[in-house]
Every structure is written in C-alpha cells, then in structure tokens.
Structure 1
C-alpha cells in the first residue's frame, strides 16, 4: 500500500460517500473504488460494507482508521525532520476552508506564502466550516480555517486571521415572510412565528441556539443547512430568516436579494487550526508565521 491509498481510505471513511470522497481526492469514483479494492486485497479483509444506498466501515475498517492516521502522521513527521534548512522549503500542504474563506482570507495568505516558498505544493479543499476542526483532528487536512469555538480541543493550535459580525438576514422578495416583517415595528419581531434557516452543526449553530435560549424562543426551523453560503441562498428565496457571518453575505451572489435586520449582533473570530505537534513541520509552521505577519500587522 502507498500513502495515497491511505489518504483515499481516510477520505472515504470520513464521508462514507464515494462521490464526495473522490471529489476531495481529485480522482474519479471508479478510480477511488479500484484503489480501495486494491487496498482491501492487500490487507486481506473488507474495510467497507457497500450496498446500493450506503457505505459503512467494517470493524476492521474502523481499526484501520487509527493505523492510517498514525502512519501518515509518522511519515509527515519524518519528512519534516529530514528537511534540509540550507535548501528552499519544499513539500506539500493541504488546507480546508469554506468557499467564502477561500475568497476573503486564503487568497492573500496563499499569495504571500507562494511568493516566499514557491516549491511548496498547496492543495485547497472547500466545504462546510462546521467540519474544519474535525478535518484536522482526523488528519484529513494539515490546516483548516475555522470559527473559533468557546473552547479549543486539546492538542489544537489556533491563529486568528480575522473577525466578522453575525447578522440576521431576511428576504427582500414579496412573500408571506416579508409581509409579516413589514407589519412589525423595529424591536417587536414575532420571533416564535418566524421560520428559521439554521446550520446543521458548528459554532454558528451554538450561537443561534444560545440566542433562542436567551429569548425563550421555541423556533420554527424550516431547514437545517450544511454551509453558510446555502443559508443565504435559501433566505433569498423567502424560506426563512438566517443568522450568518457578514463576510459570507458580502461575498454572496444573493446579497442584493436579502436584507439585514436592524438587530444587535455579535462577532466571531476566524482563524487557522492545526494539530500542535504538526507545527514541528516547517511547511505548516511557516504558514502560521506568514498568517501571523499578515493579519496581526
């Protein structure tokens, strides 16, 4: 087996979906399937249970996750220790972030990093920011962009790269929701009657849940959504009210189809996350130092 096969295995073990895993690995689903079958043949046991509707890990597959993570971590550590400091920095670095973060924060960061260390291969993966820290913890990516949680998981390093206000948004199109809002004066919104678009998980879900608790609201949830960008899209279509980072709204193609509600808001801190022990790798360490120089200057 080779390290690429281990990465393919971990991607499938995380998503349990061949199409999503193949997109993450930049290969086709048939190629991913062949690689997994080859890996299973070499090991001598099935790692996944497949049927027409689902993919799941076998007991042996669950045990192999730990082996694959440990093997790749040891390999990366060994490579970093072999880095010749007299030579230009080289290697690979993978980063996971939301689509919005790739426009707003990561473009400037990667541009500076690539200028300083042109021989490092940069790989960018985009997805729901709610999964950012788990992507790092599972060794599916080296670094991720995440909203800072109330408490960081043990062994995780955090480097702030920016802040954003959270804002309540509603549609501008004429619909029952805008009719309801138009009848209410400022500060007297019928919270218990409003339909909400809320995140499936993550820090933003914790923030909106906290708001509901403070307001003693039993919310009417229209939809649970994966990804902040999709929340803006559903709001623009009149399905509900959402609580989103202002930076997401600023980058959205639907920003002119929604309105901000004039309500008191709070801020979130956005930053890079990586395993602390991985900062011994100069490729990752230099990214954190570049970020610190850009965003703390």
Structure 2
C-alpha cells in the first residue's frame, strides 16, 4: 500500500463512480480498478460492492475510509514538517458548503487563499448546509461553511465570517389567492397561509419556535431540503417561506420575491467556518483558517 493507492481509494469512495474517480486520479478505469482490487487483496476484505450500474462502500470500506483520510492528513503534515526549508505549503484540503456560500462567501476567500498559498489544492463539495458540521465530524471534509447552531459538538471549532438575517419571503405578485403578498396581520391569517419550510435544521427550529411563541399552528404546504428550493417554490406563488437573506441576495429569482416585515424578527444566522480542533495541527488547514477574516 502507498499514498497514491490511498488517494485512488478516496477518489472512488467520494465519487462512487469509476469514470469520475479515474478522471480525478488521472489514470485509466482499468488501472484504477486493478489498484482497488490489489488494495482489497492486501487487506483481505471487500471495500466496494460494485455491479454494472452502482458502486457502494461496504461496512469494511466505511471503516477504511476513516483510516485513509486520517493517513493522508498525517502524510501532508509530515511532508510539510520535513520540507520546512521551503516557503511554500503543498497538498490538498477538502471543503464543504452550500451552492450559495460557494459564490457569495467562498469566492473572495479562495481568491485571497490562492494568492497566498498557490501550492494548496482545494477540493470543494456543495450541498445542504445542514450537513456541514456532520461532514466535518465524519471526516468527509476538513472545513465546512454554514450557520452556527445553538451548541457546537465537542471538538468542533468555529470562526465567524458574516451575519445574515433570517427572513420571511413572499411572491412579489399575487399568483395564488391563498398566498398573501403582504404581511399577515393576525394569527388567524397566519394559520391559513401555506408555508414552505426547511425540512430540518437551524432555520426550521427557529421558525417552529416563532410559531409556538405566537401561538399559531402553521399550515405546512411543503418541507424541502435546501434554501434555494424554498426561494423557487415561493417565486411560483406556492407559499410563504423562510430563508437566510444571503440566499435571496444571490438568487436569480430575487426580483420575483419580496421580504415581509414580520415582528418579532427571527434570530439572524451567524455564518462561519467549522473544523475539528485537531485539524488545525495540519498546516494546510491552519493556513486556510488564518485567511478567514
């Protein structure tokens, strides 16, 4: 086993597709398949279940995935320690954030980071920000960007980047007689309004608390994953939604949406970066962490 074999394993484990993994690894599909099979032979276990259509990690593969990530992280640390005579850090770190954060927050960060550390490669994965901390805890990524929850899991550290209000949004034009374009003026009206809300997460918890405090039983029209989907559904007149304002500011549908003046206001999102405290021992992670202002 060698570092390149671990890198090939990680490429396949993260993409679960031989074609994409071979492109990332810059080797042929047959060579990648051969390397994975040799790795499985040396470990005497099956790491992937694969057929003509799907590739999935086995239980043993999930265990080995944690080892592979930790081993590569330690390899990068010792590489940079042994090469301290060089002024340039080299290696790779992985990052997770929402699509909105990738161009509203990460764009500026990466511009500064690439200028200061051109030898460090960023692997970016995007998805629902509600998974951001879990992915760092699981070792899927070294760093993630999302809103600060009520409490942080043990071992996770946070660095603030920006604050975004959490706002109620409605369609700008009356597309559905059941969906008002003005702020509901009574609990009775609020109870009749179709709501489009996050399925889970920080925003949903705060909205649920708001309705409880107002003694309103909301009419839930849809529960969705991802704030961009909420904006889309509201723009179609399907209901009133709740999203961080930063999502609306960067949405191509912003002109079809209006922010409602709702009192009391929801607590704003404190958006920032998360990592495990132990990850900061990695000079590559520490370098990115210090770029955040």
TM-score range, shorter chain: 0.7 to 0.9
CA distance in 1, matches of 2:58, 2:257: 46
User: Residue deviations 1:60-92, cap 9 Å, x none?
Assistant: 344334433443343344334334154222222
2:161–2:271 contact (8 Å) kept in structure 1: yes
Q: 1:59 to 1:135 in 2, by over 3 A?
A: closer
Comparing 239-248 with 43-52, greater Cα deviation is found at: 43-52
Q: CA deviation at 1:6?
A: 3.5
* 2:240 match: 241
The 5-angstrom pairing of residues 191-202 of structure 1 reads 191-202=190-201
Question: Where does structure 2 lack aligned partners over 5 or more consecutive residues?
Answer: none
1:235–1:242 contact (8 Å) kept in structure 2: yes
Q: 1:200 to 1:68 in 2, by over 3 A?
A: farther
* 1:103 match: 103
Q: 1:219 to 1:162 in 2, by over 3 A?
A: same
CA distance in 1, matches of 2:215, 2:88: 58
User: Residue deviations 1:109-160, cap 9 Å, x none?
Assistant: 1111111122222232221111111221222222111111111111112110
CA distance in 2, matches of 1:80, 1:213: 53
- Bigger-Rg structure (1/2): 2
Question: Where does structure 1 lack aligned partners over 5 or more consecutive residues?
Answer: 13-17, 293-297
CA distance in 2, matches of 1:209, 1:56: 37
Q: CA deviation at 1:233?
A: 0.8
Which secondary structure state, in structure 1, belongs to the residue aligned with residue 146 of structure 2? strand
Comparing 186-195 with 261-270, greater Cα deviation is found at: 186-195
* 1:295 match: none
* 1:117 match: 117
CA distance in 2, matches of 1:184, 1:107: 35
Q: Alignment length, in residue pairs? A: 283
The 5-angstrom pairing of residues 129-278 of structure 1 reads 129-176=129-176, 178-181=177-180, 186=185, 190-264=189-263, 265=265, 266-278=267-279
CA distance in 2, matches of 1:52, 1:188: 56
1:8–1:36 contact (8 Å) kept in structure 2: no
TM-score, normalised with respect to structure 2: 0.81
User: Residue deviations 1:195-247, cap 9 Å, x none?
Assistant: 22222332222222322332334333222222211211111112222110111
CA distance in 1, matches of 2:216, 2:10: 44
